[in-house]
């Protein structure tokens, strides 16, 4: 079964960030058979700070990280603070092992008071996931407070497009296990040979 991890960095409860995350997940599920696993970063805030200090995740955070790393796709949604993702959102991705998200299909979302903050998705979130070598869906979805009311279908349309894009990425791309130096160690002769001249000259 395909799994989709949803990371929501919303801080209040209930949270509009979580609401957007759920809408995005539902949109993907309309297009792809997938099980959704939601991670509310608020619940892991202390563990994330501890991990930054100690270098390892406590058990509950370990489980959350494994969920993200092992998922076939990721939906990542942050509130926009000071023109960028929230510190908690960034810190969660900072404690992942390098290459954890390489090649993973990712759908981005963000929330804020007004649409004036919407381009933070493009100048802050998208470059970070590009750096992490994730495969980011072309449409990133911003929801301002006004999007949750009124007659405008804009948000619903954007959510639907983004959901289709992530579903296409997931459906078109069988997941493959990442290489791991423990299950498949590099033989030592090969390590020695990397230097070419490392052996004593005959």
Applying CB under 8 A, does 138 fall inside the site for another protein?
A: no
Nearer to another protein, 66 or 146 (CB): 66
Query: Measured from the CB of residue 81, what is the shortest distance to another protein in angstroms?
Result: 23
Applying CB under 8 A, does 194 fall inside the site for another protein?
A: yes
Q: H/E element holding 40?
A: strand 34-40
Which residue reads 């509310």 in tokens? Answer: 40
Please tell me the count of residues contacting another protein according to CB under 8 A: 25
The residues with which 83 forms a beta bridge, in sequence order, are none
Structure tokens at 28: 């993907």
Applying CB under 8 A, does 185 fall inside the site for another protein?
A: yes
Nearer to another protein, 58 or 115 (CB): 58
Helix axis angle, 87-94 to 45-54, nearest 10°: 50
Name the one range near another protein by CB under 8 A: 100-108, 119-127, 166-174, 181-189: 181-189
Structure tokens at 143: 């929801």
Applying CB under 8 A, does 200 fall inside the site for another protein?
A: yes
* 112 three-class SS: strand
Applying CB under 8 A, does 195 fall inside the site for another protein?
A: yes
DSSP H stretches of helix in 32-113? 45-54, 59-70, 87-94
Enumerate residues 11-70 that contact another protein by CB under 8 A: 49-50, 52-56, 58-59
């Amino acid at each position: 079964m395909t799994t989709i991890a949803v990371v929501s960095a919303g801080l209040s409860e209930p949270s509009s960030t979580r609401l957007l995350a759920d809408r995005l997940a539902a949109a993907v599920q309309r297009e792809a058979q997938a099980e959704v696993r939601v991670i509310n970063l608020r619940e892991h805030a202390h563990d994330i700070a501890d991990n930054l200090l100690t270098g390892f995740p406590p058990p509950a955070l370990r489980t959350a990280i494994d969920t993200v790393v092992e998922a076939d796709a990721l939906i990542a949604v942050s509130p926009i603070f000071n023109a960028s993702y929230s510190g908690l959102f960034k810190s969660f991705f900072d404690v992942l092992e390098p290459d954890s998200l390489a090649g993973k299909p990712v759908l981005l979302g963000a929330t804020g008071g007004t649409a004036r903050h919407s381009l933070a998705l493009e100048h802050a979130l998208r470059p970070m996931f590009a750096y992490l070598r994730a495969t980011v869906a072309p449409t990133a979805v911003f929801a301002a407070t006004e999007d949750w009311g009124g007659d405008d279908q804009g948000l619903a349309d954007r959510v639907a497009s983004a959901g289709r894009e992530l579903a296409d990425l997931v459906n078109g791309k069988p997941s493959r296990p990442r290489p791991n130096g423990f299950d498949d160690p590099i033989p030592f002769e090969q390590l020695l040979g990397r230097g070419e001249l490392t052996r004593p000259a005959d």
